[in-house]
Amino acid sequence: MLKMATRFIRLVLVLVATSFFSFILFTYVLFYLREAIEPLQFISTRTLLLTLGLIQILLFIIACGWCVGKPLIYLIRWINRLSHGNYLQPEHHYRTTSKDPLHERNYRYPYALFKELFEEMSQFSEQLHNSEVERLNLEAKKQEWISSISHDLKTPLSYVEGYAHLLTAGEYDWTDEEKLSFSRQISDKTGEMKQLIQDLNSTSRWSVERFPMNRQREDIVNFLRDVVIDMANHPLAEHSQFTFTTSEGVYMMDFDSKLLGRAIQNLLLNAMIHNPSGTEIACDLGIQEDQCLIVIEDNGAGINESVLRQDRYQSGKGIAIARAFIEAHSGRMNIMRADGGGTRIEIVLTN
């Protein structure tokens, strides 16, 4: 602010000095013209000097108003743009001293008088723009998270629906032990649905992170085996054959069991419901140095390329959800045709 005040005082002094010397110069010119032009001789000297002084004062006021008013009007227009969500910085208040667009730019007059104010406005505009971009990104991530939960709710719901149908089917005479097993499965899947709904309700408390991660060091071999067994017990899995193989007995690594479990469930569920009866679905776990390689392969009909492209770029789809959760673990997922004509999915996680 001190620099702005100093520049403005210096400008006023320059304008005053210019007006004073201009008044003296015009006075000499006027008196010279008075001797040469006869009609001017009938005007008194006091009137001529008063008229010349008023003109000088008017010009001084116009110059000061231009120096102050033009930047002020421009700032008002700038603020109005910001209020309408246009955060792009206007550029015609500065000039370049070089043809290189990246060269340092200097402010034009009269904007140069308020250089610090314009720099603060530029920073303010940039902060507003970054905040808006951050807000939109977070909103998009929230929508993606909500879509993924809505999609994943179908998995435990299908368990509940399947076992409820089995319990109420009149053509079967289930034993008490079988009914108890079905009831436990329904209870477990109901708990999963409650957890997913809780995750959905906690979306409003999100910070600016891709997904709410809760990494813990666990045995991924036992974890993956349990996921495969759970999917093999799915009511819709009676026409599919699941196998799980691994070269390791125990392998500890950091991962979020909920997110990674939902990813693997989506991939296994896709292999189960999008393939004909009798499809064999194999899950293999291997360790290469500090990387964990998970391979899910089936001998079914194979995945359609158009479906693969849609699931790659659209949220709320099974493959897209699985890919997003795996990438949240800094992993990668590749989908290709298997040698037998089915689908092969390779997942690489780094410990």
CATH code of the domain covering residue 242: 3.30.565.10
141 domain-assigned: no
Q: Give how far Cα 244 sits from Cα of 284, 301, 345, Å.
A: 6, 21, 14
- 230 and 303 fall within a common domain: yes
pLDDT band of residue 104 (cuts 50, 70, 90) is: very low
pLDDT in tens, 17-40: 888 888 888 887 777 777 777 676
pLDDT at res. 97: 46
- 189 and 223 fall within a common domain: no
Amino acid at 191: G
Record the pTM. Answer: 0.52
What does the H/E/C string look like for 106-151? EECCCHHHHHHHHHHHHHHHHHHHHHHHHHHHHHHHHHHHHHHHHH
- 320 and 289 fall within a common domain: yes
Domain that holds residue 179: 153-205
Q: Which of 317, 249, 323, 237 is nearest to 280 (CA)?
A: 237
- 277 and 179 fall within a common domain: no
- 16 and 116 fall within a common domain: yes
- 192 and 227 fall within a common domain: no
pLDDT in tens, 254-286: 999 988 998 898 899 888 888 888 899 999 999
Classify residue 346 as exposed, middle or buried by CB count within 10 Å of its CB (0-12, 13-18, 19+).
Answer: middle
134 domain-assigned: no
Q: What does the radius of gyration of the chain's CA atoms come to, in whole angstroms?
A: 38
pLDDT at res. 95: 54
Domain count, the chain: 3
- 50 and 106 fall within a common domain: yes
56 domain-assigned: yes
Question: To 5 degrees, how large is the angle CA 235–CA 237–CA 243?
Answer: 135
pLDDT at res. 127: 85
Asked whether the beta carbons of 292 and 285 are under 8 A apart, the reply is yes
CA–CA dist 162, 292 (Å, integer): 33
Sole residue written with tokens 């709320």: 316
pLDDT in tens, 165-180: 777 776 677 787 877 8
Mean pLDDT over 52-76 rounds to 84
pLDDT band of residue 202 (cuts 50, 70, 90) is: low
- Mean pLDDT, the chain, rounded, equals 79
Per the structure block, which two tokens stand in for 317?
């789809």
CA–CA dist 161, 5 (Å, integer): 76
CA–CA dist 157, 118 (Å, integer): 58
145 domain-assigned: no
3-state secondary structure of 287: strand
Classify residue 196 as exposed, middle or buried by CB count within 10 Å of its CB (0-12, 13-18, 19+).
Answer: buried
137 domain-assigned: no
148 domain-assigned: no
CA–CA dist 191, 77 (Å, integer): 56
Question: Does residue 98 surpass a pLDDT of 80?
Answer: no
Mean pLDDT over 147-175 rounds to 76
290 domain-assigned: yes
pLDDT in tens, 9-22: 777 888 888 888 88
